[in-house]
Structures are given as C-alpha cells and as structure tokens.
Chains A and B, each alone.
Chain A
Amino acid sequence: MSKLTPTPGQTVGPFFGYALPFDKDNELLAPGSAGSIRLQGTVYDGAGEPIPDAILEIWQPDSEGNVVQRTGSLVRDGYTFTGWGRAAVGNTGVFTFTTVNPGPTEPLPGKPAAAPFISVAVFARGLMNRLFTRIYLPENEEALAADPLLSSLDPERRSTLIARRDADGGLTWDLRLQGENETVFLDFEGASQ
C-alpha cells in the first residue's frame, strides 16, 4: 500500500531530441550480431497520421528469460545486453530497435506464466503522461491464449499487443495512440498483489 502520493507526470514536450537520445540508444545488441533481430513500427495519432515526435523505451528479459541487471545502457560496450533501449521516432513516425526475442520469465509465485513480451513506455509531445504497453511475440498460440493479460482482452484489442514476424526474423509492431485499433495501454496501479 502506498503511503506517499506520487508526483504527477507531465508531457515530454517537443524538445527532448537533444536530451534523451544517445549514441546506440536503440541498439540493445549490435545490428547484425548473432541472435539479434530488428523490432520496428510506426506511431500513429487519432487521425491515422504518423507522429514525428514520440520516443519509446523498451525493457525486456534476454532470450533465455533472465531479467538483466547490468549497467552500461547509456555507454554501450557493444557486447553487454542490458535489456533496455530508447528510440525516438523519425519524421515518418518510424522507430527501430535491434534486440533479441525475449524469453519466458519465471512466473511469479502462485501466478500463471505470462507469454514472452517486451515492456514498452511511450512518450510524445501532446501526450500528457507516459503510457505503458507490451509487445508479445506472435508464436506459441498456447502461451498467448493462457497469458493473464491477453486472455482478459477481447480478440480485436488483444491483437494490438501482438507483433508480426517479418520475413527476416524481425518483429513489426505499430502503436496507435487513438482511434481505430487503438493500442491497449496498461494501468498497473491498484494491482491485486
């Protein structure tokens, strides 16, 4: 139970571009290295237009499902997988990460296993507070069907959280802030545990 009231969030605004991005921010692994995949997508607004001033962060386990607690995300050595990355979208709303397929993490005590996913935080000019969502891998229908979050969503909304597998082994996942196929965004407060 929280005893202190949280400080409110505010929009990231339009001018994060010289502050938040850093060298290799979107390269959790070096592109082309063994096991690396491209994760890409486009961020859209409620008119279906790509937005040029959003910034995404991903946070995920390694391919074995381990939660990584190693420093070095901001000054990458090219070898250490830290599990976290950041990507500002370009002028056409497109973001790209180089990462690995997340493995299944150990289920929490007394909880059903979650299907493997990448956790996402979204920031944008015009977005008053960050939003959280998830990118699930499209494989393993059984795990997806049993996942506590996905199984709580109707099929149409559920599909907004599942990436497409590209021919090159990468993942494509688009984010829609509003409107048709609006992405499911998550609220973790008041969690039952």
Chain B
Amino acid sequence: MLLDENAGHHQDDELVPAAEPHAGHAPLDAAAETQADLSAEIQAIGDAYRRALKDGAAPEIQPRLDFAPYRSSILRHPTKSLHHADPETIELYSPAFGHQDVHALESDLTIQHNGEPQGERIIVQGRVLDGDGRPVAGQLVEIWQANAAGRYIHKRDQHPAPLDPNFTGVGRCITGPDGSYRFTTIKPGAYPWKNHLNAWRPAHIHFSLFGTDFTQRIVTQMYFPGDQLFPLDPIYQSIVDQDARDRLVATYDHDLTSPEWALGYNWDIVLSGSKRTWTENEAFGDAGDEE
C-alpha cells in the first residue's frame, strides 16, 4: 500500500510500516484523478495568475493557502483573510537556542548510525538572513527528509521503498555569527503520494527556521535544481509565481563540492523583515550563546 496523504482522521498508528512483499506497483484506482486532471487545474490557476500580473497585480511571494490541487488543503485553509496585527513585544523576539540545545554532530546526517547510509552524499550550506539582509545568528535550523530511495522513517510512510538502517533523515544546527548553516546528508529520493493517481513529490529537504522575531518563523522545503517533477507537483506549484518558486531551489556549487567525498548545494534563506527596533550591538554582535 502506498503512503496515503489523504488518509485523514482514522489512521491506525499501529499499522506496521515495515517493508512488505510488494507486487511491483500499486493497484490502479479507476476513480482516481489523473496527473492530467491535476496538471490542468494547476495550469488554469497559473494562467490566471500570469494574466493578473500582466494587468498590474503585485507578484505573490508565498504559497496560496487556498490551493485546491493539493487536496488536503481544501478543508484546512482559512476562508477569511488574515487579520493585520502589529506585533506585540513577545512577537518581536524569538526563543533562544544554543549549543545546550544542539550538538555540533547533529548537522551530519550520515554519521548517526554504525554504517554509511546508501545514496549520494551531499553538503547543503547557506545563510539565514532577515529581510534587511542581516544575518540571523545563533538560531535553530531543523531539517528532515526521505532517504535516497524516497522513504521516510515515519511510521505513516508506507511507500514500499527500502528503509535504510543507517539513515534517519533528521538534522539540526545552530547558525553561525554570519547566519551560516551547513548539513552533510544524502540526496533524498522522489516519492509517491496519494494526492492523485501517479502523484510524485520532487526530491526535497524540509527546513524549519527561526528568526530574531517570532513573526519570522517559517517551515519550508528546499528542492534540487532541474527536477522534472516541478510542473507536476501541487505543493511546489502552490507558489504560483515562478520567481518565488525559484527561491526554494538550491544551486549546485562545484566550489562547495568536496573532492572524492560529496556534492555541494548552496541555498540561502531570507526571512521576513524584523520589526524590532535594532540597536547596533544587537544588529552586529548577537551570536546566540557563542561567547
């Protein structure tokens, strides 16, 4: 059985996820919507957006909360517009994280078990900046991902691809004084999900980020350049603006590639602007608990 993204409320957590004998492919469900159906919907939304842009609408920089091609969003998006609020004091700060919270080795996802994980070893590195270009120093970055075969270790992932006993797919780090982060991991595989018939997610790494203000908190996904699944994926396409989508795609960086060892990808992340009134010390000296 394939992982069921739409399983909803009655999941049995006791389902055994272990790899089961598998017939080779999922039974075809004649009633299921096809990729062509979904692609047509995605195309229509994209066309309407491009027309609006031409007519002078402002470019959209975030995903649409209401994006029906991702079927699970239909009952899970607010129907009322977000209410504008000025951040209050607490929202102008973020929780503090440091080396008490995260061990330096947590940024290497390839050394968490006794053996080497299967797959293509990669380095993913970049900087976390705020909307004014200030480095976000001393902050928590969390990542999680599928293994090289496209399988998550999560118990609800029942994609019949092999688990890798040497790969969990979870990493953390604390950004440096210049906002830099760096992970060593394995290139994740694409994987099928049940949004529609023959739905496959492009390979991606989930990123969770904090800024200096809680209002900058985001969770997102980093993709790999040139993925042929981009036009077909309702989650990637929920960002209707091409420039905005491009901001989620890492750049292959041969200077970052480590000889005889790992391919390098660079991906900088920009959070929204800080709303705090910054003193010079805060702006240039804040490096978490790295004293």
Contacts and interface: CB of A to CB of B under 8 A. Distances in A.
A2 B172 CA distance: 28
Given A7-B218, A9-B62, A105 B95 contact: no
A30 interface: no
Given A7-B220, A7-B269, A193-B275, A59 B95 contact: yes
Interface stretch (B18-26, B33-41, B116-124, B128-136): B128-136
B1 to A, nearest CB: 15
Specify the main secondary structure of chain A where it touches its partner: loop
Contacts of A114: 88-89
B131 A4 contact: yes
Interface in A159-189: 177-179, 182-189
A79 interface: no
Contacts of A82: 95-96
B255 interface: no
Contacts of B131: 2-6
A179 B79 contact: yes
B235 A191 contact: no
Nearest to B83: A184
A19 B218 contact: no
Nearest to B154: A15
Given A14-B154, A20-B208, A191-B86, A2 B73 contact: no
Nearest to B87: A188
B75 A121 contact: no
B86 A193 contact: yes
Contact of A188 (B85, B153, B236): B85
B277 to A, nearest CB: 8
A67 B93 contact: yes
A82 B198 CA distance: 45
Contacts of B130: 4
B97 A128 contact: no
A140 interface: no
Interface in B77-118: 77-80, 82-102
Nearest to A132: B215
Nearest to B94: A59
B61 A190 contact: no
Interface in B209-245: 214-215, 217-221, 235-236, 238-239, 243-245
Contacts of B76: 45-46, 51, 124-127, 177-178
Interface of B: 3, 5, 8-9, 11, 13, 61-65, 67, 70, 72-80, 82-102, 129-133, 140, 142-144, 146, 152-157, 168-170, 172, 206, 208, 214-215, 217-221, 235-236, 238-239, 243-245, 247-248, 269-273, 275, 288-289
10 contacts: A4-B129, A8-B244, A15-B146, A71-B289, A121-B217, A126-B72, A126-B76, A128-B63, A130-B217, A178-B76
